[in-house]
Chain A
């Protein structure tokens, strides 16, 4: 927790990143723009879920999307990960404009995600679940794999090593053989994070990683998120309800309300933004 506190203090002094590439007060390298959403509009029939929103995500930062229930945060994450396709607007990733991609194609680009309502393979063990995260990193032909022959066996071992590292990192060694269906909620969330990490993503999308957790579990999860960002240099975009957590974790925050963007900036800027305060506390209509 100490690291989180120092970070939140440091952020109060950190200036808004004005140009490409800078170093945060706690020594992390923030690079140029990795992902850019331009004028995204998403409709479901007559319902407008996202209305003309633009924002960017920089290399190496932790970017939060917050907002009241039904603001369109999850829809935005689904647009980034290819589950929804916006009617208007452009999605740019690493300098290229992305066409309407299928979710599995987005995943192969190096964008991994977790889900608000945990989507794990309940019938498989924790280890197998995390191994699925590495499916796209396996190259040998399936005949060789079926026979465990030569390069295929080496490849499987390398992948196992990578997965074991993640298991150690997230401290879930003791449940590696347990079927995921039997795990308690908090651990499931952690396994889902592990599976996303196993893909060694460049951009990690977390949809309410701390929803429904108790204080202790939240602290653990916050620590893991910070460590992932710090040690692997993974860029992270997350949605979260817990304001305290968001302000502590993130470098920059996008605030949404009723499908519109009402704020964007460092946690401190957002905290003092009148629109944001109104959206969260309600305004007196007179």
Chain B
């Protein structure tokens, strides 16, 4: 019986890890839906958002090292700290500004280009943003605390111990992440399906020329979509940053989003969620049942193998649109 409850606990934890994957994948889907571009920079966007948030919150002076090197000063801190809520709002503002600059400096010059060209541009963007984050805020590992509850939830452990005679270990941060992600997803789906901006966004994703001809401003939609993607990146950055510290390996979580997208389909918001959950649960269960037989550490590769299987048998993913070309 304990074995069963342990497996259930593994599933619960897997679901919550999956939510974190979904959060990153969501950012990819949004930009892919609106511009047909796979945004390689999404992971770096999350890193950049988390770095900026910590920097603002702790009152760091941006570009401190650069200024010090140039003028021989030794500035590091403004000497104040900013409340978490205000810092998050300011960071969201920075992400909108970033979206505006990306449109102005990169996308605007690539209207009507092949998706592969735009994809290459996002790779460049990823490296640029990583460097910018480094120069602005420094390369050291930072702890992020915006007041989200952390640690094992005693309430759940106590309650489950009472009901089942087995206490579930569940991190309170994971519960909050799940809640926030659920709200975010509901809001995004409502936005994409029921608002005129959402409809315009889907139109732009489909055909630039046609979108222009019905009076949609590509500029506005792109700034909007990148702002939303930046905001989703911020949320993902907060969750991951709180969980494992703000460090440059954060941009690598984007890699985990790839198998999630292959599972869920690149064009589907629900797909990103379900894909994330399947991979979260799948890798935890696989580790639990099969791991001991093959020497463990299956979490590192399980997701990719699963994605590979999907690529062979259902390349459009679970929920993706199958695009039919007429000849």
Binding site for B on A (CB under 8 A): 81, 83, 102-105, 107-108, 112-113, 115, 119-124, 128, 131-133, 135-136, 138, 142, 145-148, 156, 181-182, 195-196, 199
Question: What is the bound-complex CA distance between A113 and B56, given in angstroms?
Answer: 49
Judge whether B249 is part of the interface by a CB distance below 8 angstroms: no
Judge whether B217 is part of the interface by a CB distance below 8 angstroms: yes
Judge whether B289 is part of the interface by a CB distance below 8 angstroms: no
Residue of B nearest to A122 (CB): B206
Cβ-neighbour of A147 out of B190, B267, B324 (below 8 A) = B190
The answer on a CB contact under 8 Å between B196 and A135 is yes
The answer on a CB contact under 8 Å between B187 and A113 is no
Q: Given A146-B190, A181-B323, A181-B324, A132 and B209 touching (CB < 8 A)? A: no
Q: Given A119-B209, A121-B203, A132-B203, A195 and B214 touching (CB < 8 A)? A: yes
Question: What is the bound-complex CA distance between A65 and B215, given in angstroms?
Answer: 24
The answer on a CB contact under 8 Å between B215 and A107 is yes
Cβ-neighbour of A142 out of B191, B207, B209, B214 (below 8 A) = B191
In the complex, what residues of A have CB within 8 A of residue B324's CB? Answer: 181-182
Cβ-neighbour of A123 out of B187, B199, B202 (below 8 A) = B202
- Please count the residue pairs between chain A and chain B whose beta carbons lie under 8 angstroms apart in the complex: 94
Q: Nearest 4 A-B pairs (CB), nearest first?
A: A107-B215, A119-B210, A121-B206, A103-B212
The answer on a CB contact under 8 Å between B206 and A112 is no
Question: What is the bound-complex CA distance between A124 and B200, given in angstroms?
Answer: 12
Judge whether B195 is part of the interface by a CB distance below 8 angstroms: yes
The answer on a CB contact under 8 Å between B207 and A119 is yes
Question: What is the bound-complex CA distance between A175 and B205, given in angstroms?
Answer: 23
Q: Most chain-A CB neighbours within 10 Å: which of B202, B213, B267?
A: B213
The answer on a CB contact under 8 Å between A104 and B212 is yes
Question: What is the bound-complex CA distance between A132 and B190, given in angstroms?
Answer: 17
Q: List 7 A-B pairs, Cβ < 8 Å.
A: A115-B209, A123-B321, A136-B215, A142-B191, A145-B194, A146-B194, A181-B323
In the complex, what residues of A have CB within 8 A of residue B217's CB? Answer: 102, 104
In the complex, what residues of A have CB within 8 A of residue B218's CB? Answer: 104
Question: How many residues of B are counted as interface, with CB atoms below 8 angstroms from the partner's CB atoms?
Answer: 29
The answer on a CB contact under 8 Å between B210 and A121 is yes
In the complex, what residues of A have CB within 8 A of residue B212's CB? Answer: 83, 102-104, 107
In the complex, what residues of B have CB within 8 A of residue A123's CB? Answer: 202, 205-206, 267, 321, 323
In the complex, what residues of B have CB within 8 A of residue A132's CB? Answer: 199-200, 203, 211, 214, 216
Judge whether B153 is part of the interface by a CB distance below 8 angstroms: no
Residue of A nearest to B191 (CB): A146
The answer on a CB contact under 8 Å between A113 and B202 is no
Query: A-side binding surface: helix, strand, loop or mixed?
Result: helix
In the complex, what residues of A have CB within 8 A of residue B191's CB? Answer: 142, 146
> Given A136-B214, A156-B194, 15 other A-B contacts at CB below 8 A?
A83-B209, A103-B213, A115-B210, A119-B210, A120-B207, A122-B206, A123-B202, A123-B267, A123-B323, A124-B203, A142-B197, A145-B196, A146-B190, A146-B194, A196-B213
Question: What is the bound-complex CA distance between A121 and B205, given in angstroms?
Answer: 8
In the complex, what residues of B have CB within 8 A of residue A195's CB? Answer: 214
Q: Given A132-B214, A135-B216, A148 and B194 touching (CB < 8 A)? A: yes
Q: How far is the CB of A158 from chain B (nearest CB, A)?
A: 13
Cβ-neighbour of A146 out of B195, B209, B215 (below 8 A) = B195
In the complex, what residues of A have CB within 8 A of residue B214's CB? Answer: 107, 112, 132-133, 135-136, 195, 199
The answer on a CB contact under 8 Å between A121 and B213 is no
Q: How far is the CB of B185 from chain A (nearest CB, A)?
A: 13
Residue of A nearest to B204 (CB): A121
Question: What is the bound-complex CA distance between A119 and B209, given in angstroms?
Answer: 7
Q: How far is the CB of B30 from chain A (nearest CB, A)?
A: 15
Question: What is the bound-complex CA distance between A229 and B324, given in angstroms?
Answer: 35
In the complex, what residues of A have CB within 8 A of residue B211's CB? Answer: 104, 121, 132
In the complex, what residues of B have CB within 8 A of residue A81's CB? Answer: 213
Residue of B nearest to A133 (CB): B214
Question: What is the bound-complex CA distance between A102 and B108, given in angstroms?
Answer: 13
The answer on a CB contact under 8 Å between A120 and B210 is yes
In the complex, what residues of B have CB within 8 A of residue A199's CB? Answer: 214-215
Residue of B nearest to A180 (CB): B206
In the complex, what residues of A have CB within 8 A of residue B190's CB? Answer: 146-147
In the complex, what residues of A have CB within 8 A of residue B216's CB? Answer: 104, 132, 135
Question: What is the bound-complex CA distance between A108 and B191, given in angstroms?
Answer: 23
Residue of B nearest to A182 (CB): B324
Q: How far is the CB of A1 from chain B (nearest CB, A)?
A: 30
Cβ-neighbour of A121 out of B198, B202, B323 (below 8 A) = B202
In the complex, what residues of A have CB within 8 A of residue B323's CB? Answer: 122-123, 181
Q: How far is the CB of B20 from chain A (nearest CB, A)?
A: 25
In the complex, what residues of A have CB within 8 A of residue B198's CB? Answer: 142, 146
Q: How far is the CB of B318 from chain A (nearest CB, A)?
A: 17
Mark each residue of chain B from 287 to 327: 1 if its CB lies under 8 Å from any CB of chain A, else 0. 00000000000000000000000000000000001011000
Residue of B nearest to A107 (CB): B215
The answer on a CB contact under 8 Å between A121 and B207 is yes
Question: What is the bound-complex CA distance between A147 and B186, given in angstroms?
Answer: 11
Q: Given A121-B207, A132-B203, A107 and B213 touching (CB < 8 A)? A: yes
The answer on a CB contact under 8 Å between B210 and A142 is no
